[in-house]
Amino acid sequence: MWVSIDLCLVPIGVGVSLSPYIKTCLSIIEEHKLEHELGPNGTAIEGEWDQVFECVKKCHEAVHSKGAPRVYTTLKVNTRTDKKQLFKEKVGSVRGS
């Protein structure tokens, strides 16, 4: 099943700079060859369900292995059965392009 998600992963107990942890997750997303778009407060990711959620799991594991004792994640999950719609198409339809 095709899925698009908004992932906001927050390491807790690591100080105020989260960039190194987000960079680690971004590398994992790229290794999984998933379409993604980094935003200021999260990352949009799309692909096959199992691959996307395996990637989220790997992000959690990597952030813990970098020393974060806790990881708090919020997810927005979108699936459709009538068609495969890419997140860039969704944004384009709102902007009229």
- Counted domains in the chain: 1
Summarize pLDDT for 3-34 with one digit per residue, the tens: 999 999 999 999 999 999 999 999 999 999 99
Interatomic CA distance for residues 82 and 45, integer angstroms: 20
Give pLDDT tens digits for 35-88. 999 999 999 999 999 999 999 999 999 999 999 999 999 999 999 888 887 877
Amino acid (one-letter) located at 60: H
What's the token pair of residue 5? 């998600």
Domain encompassing residue 52: 2-95
- Residue-wise pLDDT for 57-70, tens only, equals 999 999 999 999 99
CATH number at residue 60: 3.30.70.930
Kindly state the helix (H) or strand (E) to which residue 36 belongs, with its residue range: strand 35-39
Instruction: Tell me which residue has tokens 């994640």.
Output: 73
- The token pair at 73 is 């994640």
Alpha helices in 32-78 (DSSP H): 49-65
pTM of the model: 0.87
